[in-house]
Amino acid sequence: MEILRTIDSVRQWVRAQRGRPIHFVPTMGYFHEGHLSLMRRARADGGAVIVSIFVNPLQFGPNEDLARYPRDFERDRQMAESVGVEAIFCPTVEEMYPAGYQTEVCVKKLSQLLCGRSRPGHFEGVATVVLKLFHIVTPDRAYFGMKDYQQLRIIQQLTRDMNLPIEIVPCPIVREADGLAMSSRNVYLTPDERAAATVLYRSLQWAQAQYAAGERDAARLRTGVHEQIAAEPLARIDYVAVVDAETLQPIERLERPTLVALAVFFGAARLIDNCLLEG
């Protein structure tokens, strides 16, 4: 496996693939099974697999966890190699944003909803770094987890709007045995917070069961999910939302594919999760 530190070295690696499809998994590192599932999918799809590891400062607010975001490159390297990744691009901040850098990218409407309300500027940082990475790596396919559903929709919209010849491949949420969605930020949880955080998946399961039983009133679903999470003393709710899965706009009745999305604090950790209701 090759370790690439510069933009020029990535472009040389891509040229050396001699026409093999390039399959790309952008990450911020500190891998878990969710990340590895994306890499396995990219490998199974038959391309040359390249992963990026870059903790992007543009997507962190002034009071967020940029400095303490978990990092362990050697662990990540071994895990990526074990699932067949062929190259890792791990640039410095200076390589990605050299002196004089001025440009940011905004996907307007989708960035202003859900997490965008409580994390102003976050999705501008995401869109900017992803567009840069797409231009550097020039992948045929790029793989994103559905846990970060709003991010996925923003990247799909960005790719469409900018006429990028890249297929965005959504991949399912990977969960722990008790249902907690895997996240690099789970390491912030104390044992008590970790146990309490299982309420997120239980509340989503409840919404899925209500939907399967015929419930189509968005307010009743939202209220039920909110009440279950609020009953957990260690949970501090940022939002619970029931929205159109395409536009992320609030709805009154479930008549199209619908997303139940939530963001909840447990101590210092802000966890997100979601489920799709469709069919």
The average pLDDT across 204-214 equals 98
Q: Give me the pLDDT at residue 31, please.
A: 96
Give the residue among 177, 228, 239, 220 at the shortest CA–CA distance from 200.
228
Q: Look up residue 250 and give its DSSP letter.
A: B
- Give residue 222's pLDDT band: very low, low, confident or very high (50, 70, 90): very high
For this structure, is 35 an active site residue?
A: yes
Adjacent-strand bridge partners of 244? 258
pLDDT over 80 (residue 20): yes
Do 2-171 and 184-274 come out as alike in CATH topology? no
pLDDT over 80 (residue 279): no
- pTM for the predicted model, two decimal places: 0.96
Tell me the CATH number for domain 184-274: 3.30.1300.10
Q: Please compute Rg for the chain using Cα positions.
A: 19
CATH of 2-171, picked from 3.40.50.620, 2.60.40.10, 1.20.1540.10, 3.30.1130.10, is: 3.40.50.620
The gap from C-alpha 239 to its chain's centroid, in whole angstroms, comes to 17
Give me the residue spans of the domains in the chain.
2-171, 184-274
Q: Give me the pLDDT at residue 74, please.
A: 97
The DSSP element (H or E) to which 96 belongs, if any, is helix 93-96
| pLDDT tens for each residue of 47-106 | 999 999 999 999 999 889 999 999 999 999 999 999 999 999 999 999 999 999 999 999
Burial class of residue 185, CB neighbours in 10 A (0-12, 13-18, 19+): middle
Strands, sheet with 22-27, edge to edge from the N-terminal-most edge strand: 2-4, 87-89, 48-53, 22-27, 141-145, 167-171
Structure tokens at 3: 């370790």
Could you say which of 23, 32, 35, 226 is catalytic?
A: 35
Q: Rounded to whole angstroms, how far apart are CA atoms 26 and 151?
A: 12
Q: Look up residue 207 and give its DSSP letter.
A: H
